[in-house]
């Protein structure tokens, strides 16, 4: 039991430690790095994020029949408080900064005699348009986007449910409320479409993410090809983001 004994023990421990390090390194090489290389391919976040809001634009027809039937009238009335600085909703109510809104659903656009509408609103109404569910829904989301040049300086109601509720409220402020459209047939309903579009967006995002590493991996030498292959994706992403910007804001 001299120094030699401890040397031997230390040697064995060292050898075991070295062996285990080598083993773990080997495992990393065989499994760990292989797997992580697959998972750590560059996911184009811009493309993924741009792919998500895009389908909201094309989320299919809004099912006004269904949504308005279950709208929250008192929530709509609360939202209407944001309009009363400029509008009255009661029958025979005075025009303010904006026209009286009694019976506005179904009414001719710019239809209050004696109210000084902007030329933009007059032009929009000149074709005989009336306020229906769809154009009211779009107008209230972004008044100055929908009728450029309108004198209604109101930012808009970005929340779709809020718009549904206030449209239901305005519809009720009428002698003869505008009839509700029939709910859309199952499968074409807005909600279903949105769900489908969402799945499609996810798929599109996955495709976009998977195409890149596939190309890059198959052509190891063609490094010049990889950036080229990425360009259209990031260009699209930027373009979509630009288009989606205002609308992405619209979702909030
Ligand atoms: C800052 C004042 C202001 C606020 C707030 C406002 N509006 Fe208006 N609104 C106007 C003006 C002004 C017009 C006329 C627009 C024009 O002639 O271009 C108008 C027009 C409208 C019209 C078209 C009426 C018609 O006869 O064609 C509707 C509908 C309407 N507003 C709804 C609303 C609702 C709903 C809200 C609240 C969520 C609201 N407005 C908030 C000022 C306002």
**Mean pLDDT for all residues in the chain:** 77
Q: 77 CA to middle of ligand 1, Å?
A: 15
What are the pLDDT digits (tens) for 77-125?
Answer: 999 999 999 999 999 999 999 999 999 999 999 999 999 999 999 999 9
The pLDDT of residue 96: 97
- pLDDT value at position 5? 87
Residues of the chain with CATH 1.10.760.10: 62-172
Residue 212's CB is within 10 A of a number of other CB atoms, namely 18
Task: Report the alpha-carbon distance of residue 131 to residue 139 in Å, rounded.
Answer: 10
Superfamily the domain 62-172 falls into: Cytochrome c-like domain (1.10.760.10)
As for ligand 1, residues whose beta carbon falls within 6 Å of it are 82-83, 85-87, 97-99, 101, 104, 109-112, 117-118, 120-121, 131, 140, 150-154, 157, 166
Is 170:140 a contact under the CB 8 Å cutoff?
A: no
Closest Cα to atom 36, ligand 1: which residue?
83
DSSP track, the chain: --HHHHHHHHHHHHHHHHHHHHHHHHHIIIIIHHHHHHHTS---HHHHHHHTTHHHHT-----HHHHHHT--HHHHHHHHTTTTTT---STTPPP-SS---TT-TTSBTT--TT----HHHHHHHHT--B--HHHHHHHHH-HHHHSTT-S--------HHHHHHHHHHHHHSSSSPPPPPPPPPTTTSHHHHHHHHHHHHHHHHHHHHHHHHHHHHH-SS-TTHHHHHHHHHHHHHHHHHHHHHHHHHHH-
Please return the burial class of 106, using the count of CB atoms within 10 Å of its CB with bins 0-12, 13-18 and 19+: middle
Dist. CA 75–CA 63, nearest whole Å: 19
What is the residue with the minimal CA distance to atom 2 of ligand 1? 86
Overall average pLDDT of the 184-194 stretch? 59
pLDDT digit string (tens) for 154-173?
A: 999 999 999 999 999 999 99
Helix 133-141 / helix 160-172 crossing angle, nearest 10 deg: 130
CB 111 within 8 A of CB 85: no
Ramachandran assignment for 154, one of left (phi > 0), alpha (psi -120 to 50 degrees), beta (any other): beta
Residue nearest to atom 6 of ligand 1 (CA): 83
Is this prediction's pTM over 0.85? no
A 10 A CB-CB count for 165 gives: 24
Q: What would the pLDDT profile of 220-235 be if each residue is shown by its tens digit?
A: 444 444 444 444 444 4
Residue from 95, 110, 154 to probe ligand 1 pocket by mutation (most atoms less than 8 Å from CB): 154
Provide the pLDDT for residue 102: 98
């Amino acid at each position: 039991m001299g120094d030699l004994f401890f040397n031997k023990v230390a040697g064995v421990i060292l050898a075991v430690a070295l062996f285990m390090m080598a083993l773990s390194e080997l495992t990393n090489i065989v499994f760990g790095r292989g797997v992580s290389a697959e998972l750590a391919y560059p996911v184009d976040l811009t493309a993924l994020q741009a792919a998500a809001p895009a389908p909201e634009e094309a989320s299919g027809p809004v099912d006004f029949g269904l949504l308005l039937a279950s709208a929250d009238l008192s929530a709509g009335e609360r939202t209407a408080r944001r309009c009363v600085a400029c509008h009255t909703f009661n029958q025979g109510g005075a025009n303010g900064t904006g026209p009286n809104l009694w019976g506005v659903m179904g009414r001719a656009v710019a239809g209050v005699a004696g109210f000084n509408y902007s030329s933009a609103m007059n032009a929009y109404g000149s074709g005989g348009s009336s306020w229906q569910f769809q154009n009211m829904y779009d107008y209230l989301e972004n008044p100055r986007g929908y009728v450029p040049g309108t004198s209604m300086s109101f930012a808009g109601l970005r929340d779709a449910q809020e718009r549904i509720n206030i449209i239901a409220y305005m519809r009720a402020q009428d002698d003869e409320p505008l009839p509700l459209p029939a709910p859309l047939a199952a499968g074409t309903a807005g909600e279903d479409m949105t769900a489908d579009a969402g799945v499609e967006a996810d798929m599109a995002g996955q495709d976009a993410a998977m195409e890149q590493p596939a190309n890059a991996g198959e052509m190891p030498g063609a490094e010049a090809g990889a950036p080229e292959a990425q360009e259209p994706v990031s260009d699209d992403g930027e373009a979509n983001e630009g288009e989606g910007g205002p609308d992405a804001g619209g979702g909030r």
